[in-house]
A and B are shown apart, each in its own frame.
Chain A
């Protein structure tokens, strides 16, 4: 049937089951927004304060639901404002389809108003980019884009449509096609034919799995790393079975948060630069290290040459290019974590490693002491006690992020939303909005610092307008805490440009946006406020005043072996 090209865009989104999109209109994308007006009862559009906020919201939505997030923006500055969000999604393998419009064919390449080569700019930070010059390509390209974003190792994809392609008098042929059929038609069918790919993930290599089973049988001191791949493939149950069968300690990376129960007796907590003593020491002493869906980033393998030096390293990952990229491994299995772990679990007996576990867990630090003062630990403890255990936690980046990951317990994939790879300050508020819209039944906490909150705090306008009940907790130490910590430890206390003691009044700022806010300085005040916020059912901003010199511990310097603690 013949329909408007813009209508085909909406129909293709509906084919994918999209009901929420985030974005910001502008000159070149006017036609698409005009069509959206007609579809507003089917596709809920969230107008953010800034395109960056929209990009993070789509990302947070994707991470928390496991679905593909969708974000719209106009050409030029609208498109470039997305780039930080695109890179954030790319580094953390989050599936988001970004849809931008560009100037029309007749002015393309002539430096027209608000023209930018966004497909070129986004090339290194996306799985694929598409420049749509022919309206007839719209259905095929959108179908391909969603498949590429979601499958294999997920990631962002960008579609740039020329304005003339979206003109309201452009009619194209469109046949509705259920999502499962997409692979048999058009470009997706060509792609499959060409590369011999399939929609059903091929089984992992059985011999590779057997070799791991053998290595497990020989190991006396096995250890597991739960990486982001466990979360993305929702392989948490399989991973837990493996850990329990192996009776091995489990270290969890930042991206792996939620892949393994945070309070499980086998977990040693975070690994690497701010990893726990027991994680880092276990990693240094184990004889078999099985890393699932992790890429041994420089924040985990702070010094690749000595990382897990006594161990045979086995890397399970869906992306072949990750093998031997950062750390040289002894064996690898390529495949979806869920499938690989299932195969491994079916082939191994239950083991017991009491002596090894005793050694590892003897390095577990004692829980911090009770105190009435408002320390980072006490803040998180209070939240943990008062909020439902399944609350989603979205963080910004810095000290509060590390504290949150260290002290909250995450139990399921999508419970922790954090910018692990790109370290994007200002990610949290947008991401929390996306997470709440994707999970209306869950309590969503947005953990942030005074530095981060200033970066995209204007999204409080969005939170307020759409009445998105998220609880923002600002750790206000009046400084850029993580940089301050490095300056204190490594730069002789020369606090160059990190003092934020001129912050706005966050409570008044929240009120200006129509959001209730309160400043707290004691645990008791915090507890009262959290209760009030939970009861209120609307957004709330809680500003916690903490000491400027609070540090994230333990800490290993960049480039040093993970057992050389600079701070214990």
Chain B
């Protein structure tokens, strides 16, 4: 089956060991996580984890099913690129030790609507917010100057429109049933 990129949004209880419980399911199946981002939600007791990974549809469905079984997992949604807005923050430290180079970098930065968050005599640190393509294009151009280091937050995603991760579908009802039935 065709392997493609999937984004999984996972709502979990904010308790110790949750992240390792979630991530071990991926390693167990031998899948590599492309990116993982985690942070609290409007409810401080709840954390939302966004994971991007490659796999075929059946594998993703099985992974989502196994995730839903974990007691700490509240809900899981597989988001498609069409239905969801995706964002990632990337920080790039680029070498720019002359005025000309700095000017040139600043120009590129402004075209990309990125911003400079730190500047020194030798370097510029650029931050860019966007989807993966935008960050890649920027890094490609900055590569000419010498990229010293890059750090990415990992992709976060949210569904377009009124739909949310809290939706109770027939499927999630079935999962809660299988999970425990306390």
Contact = CB atoms under 8 A, between A and B. Distances in A.
A319 B182 contact: no
Given A321-B65, A321-B68, A195 B74 contact: yes
Given A128-B71, A198-B182, A199-B182, A334 B177 contact: yes
Contacts of A440: none
A127 B71 contact: yes
A320 B175 CA distance: 5
A124 interface: yes
A397 B21 CA distance: 31
B82 interface: no
Q: How large is the interface on A (under 10, 10 to 19, 20 to 34, 35 or more residues)?
A: 35 or more
Contacts of B110: none
B31 to A, nearest CB: 15
Contacts of A320: 65, 68, 171, 174-175, 177-178
A198 B181 contact: yes
Interface residues of B, number: 29
A324 interface: yes
A123 B20 contact: yes
A119 interface: yes
A445 interface: no
B58 A324 contact: yes
B24 A124 contact: yes
B164 interface: no
Interface stretch (A8-16, A148-156, A248-256, A381-389): A148-156
Given A195-B74, A195-B176, A319 B69 contact: yes
A2 to B, nearest CB: 27
Interface stretch (A105-113, A167-175, A186-194, A519-527): A186-194
Interface in A117-146: 119-120, 123-124, 127-129, 131
23 contacts: A120-B20, A147-B180, A147-B182, A152-B179, A195-B180, A196-B168, A196-B176, A199-B181, A201-B181, A202-B173, A317-B178, A318-B178, A318-B181, A319-B69, A320-B175, A320-B178, A321-B62, A321-B66, A321-B68, A324-B58, A324-B61, A324-B62, A334-B174
Interface of B: 13, 16-17, 20-21, 24, 28, 58, 61-62, 65-66, 68-69, 71, 74, 168, 170-171, 173-182
Interface of A: 119-120, 123-124, 127-129, 131, 147-148, 151-153, 183, 188, 191-192, 194-199, 201-202, 205, 317-325, 334-336
